[in-house]
A and B are shown apart, each in its own frame.
Chain A
Amino acid sequence: MGEFVLEMQNVSKSYYGTQVLKNVSIAVKPGEIHAILGENGAGKSTLMNILFGMSVIHSTGGFEGEVRLGGEAVAIKSPMQAMELGIGMVHQEFMLIPGFSIVENIKLNREILKDNIVSRVFGEKMKGLDHNSMAKDAKAALNTVGLTIDEWARVAGLPVGHMQFVEIAREIDKENIRLLVFDEPTAVLTENEAANLLATMRKLADSGIAILFITHRLDEVMEVADNVTILRDGALVSTLRKQDTSVVRMAELMVGREIETMAREKGSEMGQDSTILSIRDLHVRMPGEEIRGVSLEVKRGEIFGIGGLSGQGKIGIANGIMGLYPATGEVLLNGEKLELNNTKGSLARGLAFVSEDRRGVGLMLDSSIEENIAFTAMQVKNKFVRKYGPFSQVAQGEMRQHALAMIKELDIRCRGPLQATRRLSGGNQQKVCIARALTLDPIVLFVSEPTRGIDVGAKRLVLETLVKLNKEFGMTIVMTSSELAEIRSVCDRIAIISKGQVEGILAPDASDADYGLMMSGDFAKARREGVV
């Protein structure tokens, strides 16, 4: 019965009525590297949360299905219990304490203790630490992962690649470890470090540890995995042996979905080929969404899509151009150079931005709809402002009229222009954001994640609004979104961002395989090798 280390059978989970996992089953043998592949939101992290008994699962009503470890059904209630059962996790963001030495991190809360006089009376907690034995164990674990480094060095100064190996060393130092989960471990590594890591994973697997390898990099799957399970929208698409599949096939399975094209003809034909915005070698230092040298040309009157997996940098482009995060490079608007890192300047030049952080950056939640709509234009363009010498007053009447017009135009469902935006539904909040951007009479409108956190019906309305603006007013729109299907349904051209750079530009009707490959950053390589 002990053939599999881990079996998860027919696992389903919903959060507040939304199903995020449907009947997913997975089985891993000792010594196997099992890759789990999927886009953002495919259900990978929910599956791992269930495996580790995270409180987010249990506080929302638990899950359906069964988890078996070594053939025995287990109910894992806490990460601590998962650890005791021999499941380890190498986290994507490091779970290391920078101020501690490597030894202390590896032995965190598993310190080797020694008796002293006080501990004999007052118990365990008063025992001292046996630093020598701790160092010996740590050294052994570091050797296993092939890291030669002073074990008393502080973690704070280590290169990122080393930190990853310290994490692994900590997990394999646990004596009963039998299943190790790697959560996108190569995301922050250089190519060299990544190759090292993969080799180490193979070595660990050969020593009999089962490995779950969560990733979206297809070439890595091909390199080390024995089997691969592909998830999409919370459902199991397929479990394949590596030999039976290819990068292209996996890419198709990962992305493939029906695309509903919005019924739309091309917008105004005029000026189709003239460039309105050109971006050259843009670098943006946005934490977690860094852009490292992007060049793009956006044409007048088009809807330009920017897609890619989260963390790859797509959101950084609009934020960088609008001056919300420090940027370098060159941006030309209508052939004239735009001053970077100057939000007010960007707005004044005719760029408008609907932020992905709707409730944080996008809206003043306790202010009224009309104030939200008018605010930026007031600041930047002196609209809705009456001047009396050195003093100025808000022109209430003008503002009200404009707000009413916008509410009608964009069909914002509200109790009136004085309602606080906090009370509005997500879709209507988004429309207020768009209304505010429109009040600036923009030449180019940036829209980031316009449908995030909005229910399905409202999503469609927001997208239709964008298409209408484009079609009726010939407005150029640059839309960034994590939902590939959505950009493919409304955009004319789509750039896919990977590792902070443009992986390629595709037409909306390009094949699923191309999209999948580009998202995982394997497109250029696959093309070189002549697969596509």
Chain B
Amino acid sequence: MSKQITNAAASQTRRTKAIQSIKNFLSDNIVTIMFAILCYVGFKLSGLSLMFIVNDLVNRVGRNGVLILALIIPVLAGMGLNFAIVLGAMAGQVAVIIVIHYGWSGIIGFLAAMAISTPVALLFGWLTGHLLNRTKGQEMITSMITGFFANGVYQLVFLVLVGTVIPMVNPEIMLPSGIGIKNTLDIGRIKYAVDNLSRVTFPTAVLAGSVGILLYLGYRFWKSRIDGRVTLTVVSVLTPLIAAGAMAFWSITTMNSKSMLNMVRVPVVTFLFIGAVCLFITFIASTKLGQDFRTIGQDLHIAQVSGINVNKTRIIAITMSMVLAAWGQLFFLQNVGALNTFAAHEQVGRFAIAALLIGGASVSKATIGQALLGAVLFHTLFVVSPAAGRQLLGDAQLGEFFRAFVAYGVIALSLGMHAWQKAAESKRKNR
């Protein structure tokens, strides 16, 4: 009798535990879940075809992926969301303007732009790092204002100094007066320079993705053999295995069907580069430098006392982010094919940050998975919301408003939640 009661009580506690863990999962991922639902509803309302959305999405994720990934390292080092990637984007644009001026084109032009943008981004990163080291604890607001300030300098250089102090003659890209760069530049010379190197159909890309998952699983298996901390559970093996299987099955059946998705062409090199950036971040995180990043991110004071050169490490973190942002902007521009000289960089910070947050990241924690998931969700919303607005209210403009509202709203929400969690934490500590 009593055994039954204890059994019943045990199953009761098991059930409440399960409910609790579901609740925790929901509250931890509330932003991401909300956006997934929003995207789905938007997709249904918009009446757009799946093919159209996937096509747009492949384009957008490809061109924004690196920019979003560029945010991860500063978060790791406890410097919050790096609004200063705007400066990185400027470095990329400086390089593009130079490349266009000299008339280089194609993949050579793109590689030249990368080579030129790197030292510029290193310089910007070094300067920003020094500034942020003087404003510890206020990195986000400082980096945001630094972005505005740099924008002023950028305009000064390209509106006033070019053609006066900086000797440059090129009627094609300069204003008729001979001073300053035109508002919009046609950079068709390097359009699709990387994207068009090689393209495969969407199902093929998915198949490659499933192979990638299998490779990763093999790596985990190998790692679990040599590292005591990595243990494989049934769930952690089966979930990716099933996912990879499903992806492979779907892609092979779709390949042999008349699905419109076979028309979607995925830029291979762009996505390989995104993959390489992911590997780079993973690698850095596993090194001594990565351990220093994490230590600083967790506790500045303890890091200092234990002898880590805090300032230098933070500068390295912000500089890495800056270089990745510069390259990210180059990928963005080669896909768009036009340079809005004085505005292209302005939204980079906000949109990349909103995407990262939508993926479930926070001011103090961000992973590659969150960056990629966020990229997909944020840009899905971008694609569907104008059409959904038109269908629903007869006005595409409302959808535009909605997505601007969403981008800012999610940043404000995330910052607020971060402050709230911090307050709750300190309250808990003091108890």
A: residues with CB less than 8 A from B are 79-80, 83, 95-100, 104, 108-109, 111, 113, 118-119, 124-129, 131-132, 135, 152, 285, 287
- List, in ascending order, chain B residues with CB within 8 A of A97's CB: 295, 298-299, 302
16 residue pairs A–B, Cβ–Cβ below 8 Å: A79-B307, A80-B307, A95-B306, A97-B298, A97-B302, A98-B298, A100-B294, A100-B298, A108-B302, A111-B291, A124-B288, A127-B287, A129-B291, A131-B227, A132-B228, A285-B430
Q: Which 4 A-B pairs have the closest CB atoms?
A: A287-B430, A109-B306, A125-B289, A80-B307
- List, in ascending order, chain A residues with CB within 8 A of B292's CB: 109, 125
Give CA–CA (A124, B288) in the complex, Å: 8
- List, in ascending order, chain A residues with CB within 8 A of B308's CB: 109
Main secondary structure of the interface of B (DSSP, over half): helix
- What residue in chain B is nearest A287 (Cβ atoms)? B430
Q: How many residues of B contact A (CB 8 A)?
A: 24
- What residue in chain A is nearest B280 (Cβ atoms)? A118
A127 adjacent to B288 (CB under 8 Å): yes
- What residue in chain B is nearest A113 (Cβ atoms)? B288
Q: How far is the CB of B227 from chain A (nearest CB, A)?
A: 6
Query: Which residues between 289 and 344 of chain B lie within 8 Å of chain A, taking CB atoms?
Result: 289, 291-292, 294-295, 298-299, 302-303, 305-308
- What residue in chain B is nearest A100 (Cβ atoms)? B298
- List, in ascending order, chain B residues with CB within 8 A of A99's CB: 298
- What residue in chain A is nearest B226 (Cβ atoms)? A132
Q: How far is the CB of B207 from chain A (nearest CB, A)?
A: 30
Give CA–CA (A249, B119) in the complex, Å: 70
Q: Which of B228, B288, B303, B306 contacts A135 (CB 8 A)?
A: B228
- List, in ascending order, chain A residues with CB within 8 A of B299's CB: 97
- List, in ascending order, chain A residues with CB within 8 A of B229's CB: 131, 152
Question: In this assembly, does B286 line the interface, its C-beta being within 8 Å of a C-beta of chain A?
Answer: yes
A96 adjacent to B302 (CB under 8 Å): yes
B305 adjacent to A95 (CB under 8 Å): yes
A131 adjacent to B228 (CB under 8 Å): yes
Question: In this assembly, does B3 line the interface, its C-beta being within 8 Å of a C-beta of chain A?
Answer: no
Given contacts A97-B302, A131-B227, 5 further A-B contacts (CB under 8 A): A95-B306, A100-B295, A126-B289, A131-B229, A285-B431
Q: Which of A95, A126, A285, A287 contacts B287 (CB 8 A)?
A: A126
Q: How far is the CB of B225 from chain A (nearest CB, A)?
A: 11
B287 adjacent to A119 (CB under 8 Å): yes
Q: Which of B226, B286, B302, B307 contacts A95 (CB 8 A)?
A: B302
- List, in ascending order, chain B residues with CB within 8 A of A109's CB: 292, 295, 303, 306-308
Give CA–CA (A154, B303) in the complex, Å: 17
Interface centre among B228, B288, B308 (most CB of A within 10 A): B288
Q: How far is the CB of A234 from chain B (nearest CB, A)?
A: 25
B288 adjacent to A129 (CB under 8 Å): yes
A126 adjacent to B288 (CB under 8 Å): yes
- List, in ascending order, chain B residues with CB within 8 A of A152's CB: 228-229
Question: In this assembly, does B283 line the interface, its C-beta being within 8 Å of a C-beta of chain A?
Answer: yes
Give CA–CA (A338, B245) in the complex, Å: 70
Q: Which of A83, A100, A119, A126 contacts B307 (CB 8 A)?
A: A83
- List, in ascending order, chain A residues with CB within 8 A of B306's CB: 95, 108-109
